[in-house]
Structures are given as C-alpha cells and as structure tokens.
Amino acid sequence: MLRRIEADVRPQIGAGQVAAYIPALSCVDPNRFGMAIADLDGKVYGVGDWRQPFSTQSITKVFALALALAQGGDDLWERVGREPSGNPFNSLVQLEYENGIPRNPFINAGALVVTDRLQTLTGDASSELLEFLRQESGNPDVTFDPEVAASESDHGDRNAALAHFMASYGNIANPIPALLDHYFWQCSIEMNCADLALATRFLARHGLRADGTRLLPRRLAKQINAVMLTCGTYDAAGEFAYRVGLPGKSGVGGGIVAVVPGVCTVCVWSPGLDPQGNSVAGIAALDRFTTLTGLSVF
Ligand code: DON
C-alpha cells in the first residue's frame, strides 16, 4: 500500500517551495519523499526515503507539549489557548488583542510558552526533549543539528519579538535569550520517518510510552490529539481535516506526523511546502492513506 501511495503522489513530489527563511533548510533536495507507518507494538513499515534524517522543526512542538502537560499538568492552559489561529504560524497580530495569550501551543508564540513551561519544570527543556525522543524512537543517534540551530538563531528576530511581547504581558517566566536557545535547539532536532512514527506512538496508545509506562492519562492523550486535529497545520488545519481527517502536526522541514488513535502512527516527509508551510506531497500522501485504508477519525 505504501508503494501505491508513493506512486500516486509522485507527480506532486518536488512541488511547492523548500523553506528558505532559515538558510540552513533551503539546501534540502525538494525531490525527496519518505513515509513510514508504526503499529502499536512498534513494527515499522516504510517506503522511499523513510530512513533519511530531516529537520523535524515544528513537529517537536507536539512532544514539548506532551512533556509539559505530563510534568506540569493543566495549569499550562492558563497561559495558552486551544483554538485554531487562522493566521500564519509566526504571526504576531493576535497577541496584542488577546493580551499575550497565544491561540494554541502549535503556533510559534504558543510553542514558546510551552518551552518556557518545560524549562521551568526541567531546567533544560531541549535536552529533556531530545532524551524523550531518543527513548521513544529507540534511536540513540537522534540529535540536534547545530547548523540549523545557529541558522534559526541568526534569523530569529520574529521569534524574539514574540517572546518579548509575551513577556510584556507576564507570560514568559525564564530569561528570553535562554528560552530562545532552547526553542531553536528543539526545532533543529533531526529524525527520520521511522523515528518520528515510533516517537508519536504514545498518542496512538492513549498515553502509554514505548516501554509500557504511562506518560499521560488517556484524557490528555485524547486532548493533544484534538489540538493536533484543530491546530496542527496552522491556518490550513481545516483543509487538513477535510482531506486527511486525522490529528496531524507538520514542520517546515517538510515532515508531517499523523495519529490513528488505537491503531498506528504515520510520518511522511517531502520538503516542498505549500504557502501555509505544509508539505505538498506529504498532505497528498496522507490523503491517499486515509482514503485507501479508511483509517480516518471520520
Ligand atoms: O520558529 C520557526 O520559525 C521554526 N524553527 C519552526 C517552524 C515550523 O516548523 C513551524 N511551522 N511549520
């Protein structure tokens, strides 16, 4: 089935634009495509470039949110909302109207609040996240890409503006330079489709980690999946629900993870992005996946 999906989406592989606003991301070959499915027990099936590491970028926002909720509980929701923003992922515009409370944890402003919370809880947010991803993927080689982190930092004025603006409303607790560093390191983590499908499994397993221990109560796993469905693909979340019908989270590296609760996880990667910052071939592949299998939540 994966081979059929790859053949079906071949005309769209290479379509769209590779993210250029972070120079270190702009040199990726747009013609790459990989897809992996992990079942609940951790068996992985893949096609194409499914073992090729790529920049996870905003996909890590899901894992940071899960860790912040697992360790700090629902207090986080006093500082960040759970509604789609209808704006680009790096937009500043709603923050002033809404008193420094970002719409959701998957736009950059919301993710900065989540990383701030994780930093308060752990003292080392990005290392905590990396260790979690290594454990859940079973891959000790998952690591940061220092070149991408430095490039993000060099071109991080927009994120710095978001952090300072929220700090002016009292919604950032840690020193902003350190917070931004942890956020940029978090975005720079490199993983392949198999790693990401495996690491996302706790959301398909109703909160259970790879080793069988519980990361999250069932309620929180359900709620994170719901926020992924409504907010995981920025101002294209409605279109993603319409075409794919699964909780999903994208990143500007061209990856998307999706969850079929109680069944499996899927990760697809192809670097060409649509204007909203979501992988063109990735969305097409997930659309084919849910259409061919019927494995959508709808
Ligand atoms: O904050 C940024 O601009 C990036 N490091 C994360 C971008 C990202 O993947 C968000 N959207 N797709």
Q: Does 90 have pLDDT greater than 90?
A: no
pTM, whole model, 2 decimals? 0.97
211-237 confidence digits (pLDDT tens): 999 999 999 999 999 999 999 998 899
26-59 confidence digits (pLDDT tens): 999 999 999 999 999 999 999 999 999 999 999 9
Work out the percent of the chain whose per-residue pLDDT is above 90.
Answer: 95
Angle between the N-to-C axes of helices 157-168 and 176-187, in degrees from 0 to 180, rounded to the nearest 10 = 130
Provide the pLDDT for residue 248.
98
Average pLDDT, the chain: 97
Q: Which atom of ligand 1 is nearest to the CA of 184?
A: 5
- Cα 292 to ligand 1 centroid, rounded to whole Å: 30
Provide the pLDDT for residue 52.
98
Catalytic residue among 252, 257, 260, 268: 252
Mean of pLDDT values over 74-94 = 93
Q: Which residues contact 184 (CB under 8 A, 6 or more apart)?
A: 149, 152, 153, 156, 159
Catalytic residue among 18, 234, 259, 268: 234
- Cα 57 to ligand 1 centroid, rounded to whole Å: 6
Q: Is position 239 annotated in a ligand binding site?
A: no
146-165 confidence digits (pLDDT tens): 999 999 999 999 999 999 99
Task: Provide the 3-class DSSP secondary structure of residue 268.
Answer: strand
Q: Is position 234 annotated in a ligand binding site?
A: yes
165-199 confidence digits (pLDDT tens): 999 999 999 999 999 999 999 999 999 999 999 99
User: Nearest Cα to 125, choosing from 169, 184, 84, 170?
Assistant: 184
Q: State yes or no: is 61 an active-site residue.
A: yes
Quote the DSSP letter at residue 17.
B
- Cα 26 to ligand 1 centroid, rounded to whole Å: 13
